[in-house]
Amino acid sequence: MNRWLPVSLILLSTCALFSQQKKTKPAVLAPLPAEVPAPKDNPTTPAKVELGRQLFFDVRLSGNNRISCASCHEPGRAFTDGRPLSPGADGMPLRRNTRSCLNAGFAKSLLADGRAASLEEQALLPIQSPAEMNQPLGSLEKELAEIPGYVRQFKAVFGEKPNRQDLARALAAFQRTLVSGPSPFDRFLSGEKEALSADARAGYELFRGEAGCIACHNGPLLSDGKFYRLGISFRDEGRARVTGKKEDRYRFTSRQAVGDQHIDPGYDWSLSIRPHKDAARLLVEYSSIKSYLRGCSTSPQRNRLGILPGLLDNCQDRIECFVIPFRAGIVLYFRLSPWSQLQ
């Protein structure tokens, strides 16, 4: 008998047990981290943030000098625009709706298909997109170099004249200051049980229990950052446009939670529905949430999350009480100073 066989069996059993424990680790919700991480080559500084803020609101970043980042990411709408689909450079509706910038610095990947791995990478995509801001980066560098104020600021912050790499770094630094909270839910997670109403607490229990929402919507952003075939579009191939893989067709990331009852945090990609404000109501209508569970009320065998038949007809009000005030759209940096176009 091979003397190493018992040892191998022990190792295999241990690995299998560890793997099983890892797979069954329960998903949880959590408060936002105290600090937004920044890459080593782009530390966040006040001067860099101020430069990024100026750029974020400057329409000169677009080819027609009429569109800024803030045209679609409005502060008063939790840095979305509340439209089913935002208008692009030519006024025509874009392929997808606008996602919020709030808490983007905590995300594992950015955009609905995850094609940007960092805020620095994401920052230049809409600027040079012909459909969005339609500004060639070479032309933008020349235009910014003709604005004395930007020349001074780029020199002070980066030691260089305006260029695309530092433009992306400045915009990313500003977006890392767009952090929501503190919200009643954050206080609840920190031990203040009365921060949520009784109905909201009941909704919280449903959210992480029978309703199964927490399976995909977990962690500090209420999103696991993974890609799912949501059934919301058969025109937009989603993640497959990035990877080229057939199995990624129609997959999108689970949305983050960034709004409260006073703001409309935007609409889902193709159905023109408000995923957070109306999420619970739409559980029993035609929403993307119902598409996760399609058929569960009439066919338990097709219920992919194990939700009890009939539950959706009885719990939407309580889930709504929890989802709506999940995290208030309070921006910590943006309140500090007004904006005016740099000369």
Q: Residue 51: its pLDDT value, please?
A: 98
Tens place of pLDDT per residue across the chain (343 aa): 455 444 333 334 434 444 444 455 778 888 888 899 999 999 999 999 999 999 999 999 999 999 999 999 999 888 888 888 889 999 999 988 888 888 999 998 998 899 999 999 999 999 999 999 999 999 999 999 999 999 999 999 999 999 999 999 999 999 999 998 777 888 888 889 898 888 888 878 888 888 788 888 888 888 888 998 877 667 888 899 999 999 998 898 887 765 433 333 333 333 333 444 433 333 333 344 444 444 333 334 334 444 444 555 555 455 555 554 455 433 333 323 333 444 4
What is d(CA 178, CA 264) in angstroms, rounded to the nearest whole number? Answer: 17
Query: How many Cβ atoms from other residues are within 10 Å of residue 30's Cβ?
Result: 12
Q: What are 288's two structure tokens?
A: 């993307």
What is d(CA 285, CA 264) in angstroms, rounded to the nearest whole number? Answer: 19
At 293, the amino acid letter reads L
- DSSP 3-state of 293: coil
Q: Residue 187: its pLDDT value, please?
A: 85
Q: What is the full DSSP assignment across 131-167?
A: TTT---HHHHHHHHHT-HHHHHHHHHHHSSSS-HHHH
Q: Are 122 and 197 in contact (CB under 8 A)?
A: no
**251 DSSP 8-state letter:** E
At 330, the amino acid letter reads I
What is d(CA 199, CA 35) in angstroms, rounded to the nearest whole number? Answer: 31
* Buried-state track 302-330, b at ≥16 Cβ within 10 A, e below 16: ebeeebeeebbeebbebbbbbbbbbbbbe
The residues that bridge with 227 in the sheet, in sequence order, are: 253
Total count of residues recorded for the chain: 343
> Does the pTM of the predicted model rise above 0.95?
no
Q: Residue 301: its pLDDT value, please?
A: 38
Q: What are 131's two structure tokens?
A: 């459909």
Q: What are 272's two structure tokens?
A: 């023109």
Q: Are 88 and 132 in contact (CB under 8 A)?
A: yes
The long-range contacts involving 213-218, CB below 8 angstroms and separated by at least 24 positions, are 213/319, 214/27, 214/28, 214/29, 215/27, 215/305, 216/254, 216/292, 217/254, 217/255, 217/257, 218/27, 218/28, 218/29
Q: Residue 168: its pLDDT value, please?
A: 98
Q: Residue 64: its pLDDT value, please?
A: 96
Query: How many Cβ atoms from other residues are within 10 Å of residue 5's Cβ?
Result: 9
pLDDT digits (tens, 9 = 90+) for 3-27: 544 433 333 443 444 444 445 577 8
What is d(CA 184, CA 37) in angstroms, rounded to the nearest whole number? Answer: 24
What is d(CA 74, CA 331) in angstroms, rounded to the nearest whole number? Answer: 12
**252 DSSP 8-state letter:** E
What is d(CA 69, CA 321) in angstroms, rounded to the nearest whole number? Answer: 32
Q: Residue 267: its pLDDT value, please?
A: 35
Cis peptide before 182 (omega within 30 of 0): yes
What is d(CA 165, CA 171) in angstroms, rounded to the nearest whole number? Answer: 10
Who's near 268: CB < 8 A, 6+ residues apart? 97, 232, 274, 275, 287, 288
φ, ψ (nearest 5 deg) of residue 136:
-60, 135
Q: What are 244's two structure tokens?
A: 């080229």
